[in-house]
Amino acid sequence: MNEPAVTGTEPLAPEGFARRIRLQEYALVGIVIALIIAGAITKPDAFLTSDNLFTILTQASAVGVLAIGMTFVIASGGIDLSVGSAVAAAGIAGGVLADGESGTLFILGALGFGVLVGVLNGAFITLGRMPPFIATLAMLAIARGLALRMSGKTPISVALLDAVRWFGNGKVLGIPAPVIVFLAITGLGWVLLNRTTYGRYVVAVGGNKEAARIAGIRVQRTIFSVYVLIGLCAGISAILLSGRLASASPVAGNLYELDAIAAVVIGGTSLAGGKATITGTFLGVLTFALIFNLLNLLNLPTEFQQIVRGVIVLVAVIAQRREN
């Protein structure tokens, strides 16, 4: 989707910071390729099948959608710790509203509740002048509690809601629906970040609030909006997850916020704000999904998996430091 370069006269030089981000993206592309090669060598029959690749992307989709939203939040200089709980609460809200009968109501309920959580987060942060870390930490607890309360601590079945099940199991031209949704959200996120005034404003606010304000950007409004955006992503994520598991669980999405943040950070988006890349986030999500899949295929214990994920975060962030 790059602009075609005008050859000879004025090549569109990649900008300084964009070039650095790209360097890191290349490094991540290297990691992803290395993981794929490792998988192809160790499990030649199971790993490189289209079924397995779709499985990887399907498993990544719920966290992946959150990570796209999280990219905007982190780019604006904020953080959202409540998304994991918001996924559970949105799923339960949808389940309660649908009452086992209407898939449409489930979808509207989940999206609506996700947005509501985002609106509350945004209000506490902008109108209440609370640090995002604190406001969303509080919301992490509240949303989880609401999910448990609304569900009576038991999962709500959505097995009979065909529309919801489609988002978990449906296929279009052989491609699983959750994969399509994840890729579509990634594409939309990319366009929003790189090709709209909104994306530019978000990064400007994260980079320097005062400079953004002087340039006429509504800083508080922009900050508010990114939490609503990630709330919507939490709603979408809840639909994908419930569809796949055939039920909405009050304990779903546990620690998803950390998975999403980790994917964004290893992708090269700066935790200090002002620098963001959707491509990097996508590659970050892919990296974690590949590791998860590979270690599963190799029957390695899950604790080993956690250690590997932690090490990758450390290595990626150290690489980021070095580039700066």
Partner 1 sequence: MNQVASEVLPLLRVVGLTKRYPGVTALDTVDFEVRPGEVHALLGQNGAGKSTLIKCISGFITPSDGEIYFDDDPVPPGDTMASLSHGIATIYQELDLVEELTVEANVWLGHESRNGPMLDRSTMKARTIELLERLNHPLIDPGARVETLAPAAQQIVSIARALSRNVRLLIMDEPSAVLDDKEIDVLFGVVRRLTEAGVGVIYISHRLEEVARIADRVTVFKDGKTVLKGAPANTDPDELVRAMVGRRLDRMFPERAEATDRVLLQVKDLTRRGAIHNVSFELRAGEILGIAGLVGSGRSELIRAIYGLDPVDSGEVIVAGSKVVPGRPDIAMSNGMGFAPEDRKSQGLLMDWTSARNVTIADLRSFVRHLLLNLRLERKKAKTHLESIGAQEGAVDKQVRLLSGGNQQKVVLARWLLRSCEILLLDEPTRGVDIGARAEIYKVIGDLAAEGLGIIMVSSELPELLGFCDRILVLRDGRLVRESPAGEITEEEILNLSIRAQATVSEDS
Which positions lie near partner 1, rule CB under 8 A? 3, 12-13, 15-17, 191, 195-197, 200-201, 204, 207-208, 210-218, 274-275
| Angle made by CA atoms 24, 266, 91, in degrees to the nearest 5 | 140
State the nearest-atom distance from the C-beta of 197 to partner 1, in Å.
Answer: 5
Of 231, 114, 91, 81, which is closest to residue 168 (Cα–Cα)? 91
Burial (0-12, 13-18, 19+ Cβ within 10 Å), 304: exposed
Whether 186 and 263 have beta carbons less than 8 Å apart is answered as no
Whether 174 and 167 have beta carbons less than 8 Å apart is answered as no
Parallel/antiparallel/unpaired status of strands 247-248 and 175-176: unpaired
- Sequence-distant (6+) residues with CB within 8 A of 37 are none
Angle separating helix axes 16-42 and 278-297, nearest 10 degrees: 20
